Structure 1
């Protein structure tokens, strides 16, 4: 039975870690601070994207791929 408790604790910790990451991401987005280079591919984030979404951390292509991946889940 201890294995079940361990697995549950790991799952709870993972959920908590994901919540903290989401909160940090939201705070960053609300602050309006983005990046010059894409977090995914490292290429510069285009000026047009930066103008529309100052808090962007991904270039247009990587953001589109990210959103497509989330839709499939």
Structure 2
């Protein structure tokens, strides 16, 4: 498939916008305090996880599932 320079430029701009949005989301998450209970399963988030990721809102197992669903759609 042959793309024009304009189409490639537009794709590049959109890709950068998506990347910027993900970075902004990550920064916002870092600035928010985490939870003590997982937002998905309700179980306590282990102290070790909260120490490593104080912004965490999910336990490790639920976070893995969340990422699999998010990135494998």
**TM-score band, normalised by the shorter chain?**
0.5 to 0.7
SS at match of 1:69: helix
- Relative to its length, the structure with more helix (as a share) is 1
1:32 shift after superposition: 4.2
Partner of 1:58: 58
TM-score w.r.t. the length of structure 1 is: 0.59
Partner of 1:47: 47
Provide the alpha-carbon RMSD of the alignment. 2.2
Unaligned runs of 5+ in 2: 1-20
TM-score w.r.t. the length of structure 2 is: 0.59
Structure 1's consecutive aligned runs of 4 or more residues displaced over 2 angstroms after TM superposition are none
Unaligned runs of 5+ in 1: 1-18
Question: Cα 1:51–1:61, aligned 2, differ >3 Å: closer, same or farther?
Answer: same
Partner of 1:12: none
* Mapping for residues 1-73 of structure 1, pairs under 5 Å: 27=28, 29-73=29-73
Count of matched residue pairs: 51
